[in-house]
Amino acid sequence: MRKDRIYLDYNATAPLLEEARAAMLAAMDLPGNPSSVHADGRAARAMVNAARRQVALLVGAEPSHVTFTSGASEAASHVLSPDFKMGRASVRVGRLYVSAIEHPAVLSGGRFAADDVEIVPVDGNGVIDLAALRACLASHPGDNGLPMVAVMLANNESGVIQPIAAIADLVRAAGGILVVDAVQAAARIPFSMAELGADFLILSAHKIGGPKGVGALISRGEMLMPAPLVTGGGQEMGHRSGTENLIGIVGFGAAAHIGQEMLASERERLAGLTRSLEDGLKAAVPDAVILSRDVERLPNTTFVAVPGLKAETAQIAFDLEGIAVSSGSACSSGKVGESHVIRAMGGDARSGALRISIGRGTGPDEIERFLGVMAQVATRRERAAA
């Protein structure tokens, strides 16, 4: 990263941690395939298993329940399936219920037919409507198979944290399966699979300082599993075939280890910086609206709308000043469009909102420079309106 630039888009991707880079370089020196039985293969397998333990520890799971994938989108496509196995017995999932603010990888429904996916609304703060979810589950046609609910623990745009434990109670009462997208929450807030009540978790390495191109699907147990998405040689305990991405997996493990070690201190530090950022925003631009400010959010995320200022215009202005921020999620191949999250919350999706997401490399100086540029952008807005 250029030293003269400021990076405030950690929710899109976090810069690679030095610890992850070092672990990946060490893995590059291993010639063995993790499936080979000779010494070189066993050394590679040991690295994969060590990373599996590190990732499992981050979310309070069993290492044997971690299936490595090419990323969170693949993990979502894998688990969002109508076809499951309970041991050798087939289990049918009849319908998928997803919140209106989910990542497109979940909103797309995975392997479910479009008619079998139902969208659950959220309130004005972006919190799922529990009454609506309860009604969906109550009317679920039981003769068609089990219900599945897929909800993100923390939203990638607003940072809003969902009431997963309450959702889990509803899903359990309905005899369903709960899938939790924990991509943005991992290494930012403490949680465990047991506390959440999730049946499956989705993780991504590059959101926590690991490399791009590797993620994980984590199951609560070993019996109930979706039909494999990628078949072939039977790697990953038969759940995901293909030679393991040793270098990526090792980097993922190292990032998970650092994330767990620094979770408490970083959470407090980032929360303090976010408070300074938001107080400064309101001082510099009094009519700025910080979305979802009154509900529980990630400690690193601010989603702000400025009346009369299109988010994409502000994003370009910041980029020209050497500051990287976002006007939404980084999941559309660089396309800029309306935010489905803001639309679901009942806001002005056409104007959008700026997402400022900070991380390990962010300090007070970066916040101060951002606020200075924000004041300039707001002044230009006022001149244009005059």
List the catalytic residues.
Answer: 331
Question: What is the full DSSP assignment across 329-359?
Answer: -S-STT-----HHHHHTTS-TTT--EEEE--
Share of the chain residues as helix, strand and coil, in percent rounded to the nearest 5: 40, 20, 40
Residue 73's SS3 state is helix
CA distance 162 to 343: 18
Q: Which helix (H) or strand (E) holds 54?
A: helix 39-58
Cβ-based neighbours of 94, under 8 Å, separated by 6 or more? 82, 116, 140, 141, 142, 144, 145, 146, 147
Closest CA to 107 of 99, 132, 198: 99
> Which of the 8 DSSP states describes residue 91?
E
Residue 82's SS3 state is coil
Question: What would the two tokens of residue 200 be?
Answer: 């499956």
Closest CA to 339 of 349, 351, 347: 349
One-letter amino acid of 61: A
One-letter amino acid of 225: M
**How many CA within 13 A on the CB side of residue 287?**
8
CA distance 294 to 301: 13
Q: Output the 3-class SS for 103-147.
A: CHHHHCCCCCCHHHEEEECECCCCCECHHHHHHHHHCCCHHHCEE
CA distance 176 to 124: 27
What would you report as the CA-atom Rg of the chain, rounded to the nearest whole angstrom? 21
